[in-house]
C-alpha cells in the first residue's frame, strides 16, 4: 500500500511540473503510472501536447475506459433541474446516450 501512495504522490508532483511547463498529458490512467526504484513515474507521453485553450481538437485521444464522458461525447451531460416524477426517465435517457457514444469510441 505504501508503494501505491508513493506513486500517487510523486505522480501528482510530476503533473504539477508538467502543467506548470505548459503541457498536458491527455492520457493519464493507472496503466501509465509506474514505481521504479522507489519513485513514482508517469509514462505514455505520446499524446502529450502544449496547452492551448483556444483550439478544439478533432481527434479524441486517450484510453476509452478512463476517458471522461464529457470528452467522449463532446458535451456536458448535466441535466437541468427536474421534478422527481421524471428524473428517472431523464437519467435512463442520459445513460443510454452515454453507452451509445462509448460503443462508438470502442469501435474506432
Residue 79: the pLDDT is 55
Segment of 14-23, 70-79, 90-99 carrying the highest mean pLDDT: 14-23
Q: Is the pLDDT of residue 54 over 70?
A: no
| pTM, two decimal places | 0.52
Q: How far is CA 60 from CA 24, 26, 27, in A?
A: 14, 10, 10
Burial 3-24 (b: 16+ CB within 10 A, else e): eeeebeebbeebeeebeeeeee
Amino acid at each position: 500500500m505504501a508503494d501505491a501512495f508513493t506513486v500517487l504522490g510523486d505522480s501528482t508532483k510530476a503533473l504539477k511540473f508538467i502543467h506548470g511547463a505548459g503541457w498536458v498529458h491527455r492520457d493519464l490512467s493507472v496503466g501509465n503510472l509506474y514505481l521504479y526504484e522507489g519513485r513514482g513515474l508517469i509514462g505514455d507521453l505520446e499524446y502529450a501536447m502544449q496547452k492551448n485553450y483556444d483550439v478544439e481538437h478533432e481527434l479524441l485521444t486517450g484510453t476509452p475506459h478512463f476517458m471522461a464522458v464529457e470528452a467522449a461525447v463532446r458535451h456536458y451531460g448535466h441535466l437541468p433541474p427536474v421534478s422527481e416524477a421524471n428524473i428517472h426517465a431523464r437519467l435512463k435517457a442520459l445513460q443510454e446516450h452515454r453507452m451509445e457514444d462509448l460503443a462508438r469510441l470502442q469501435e474506432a
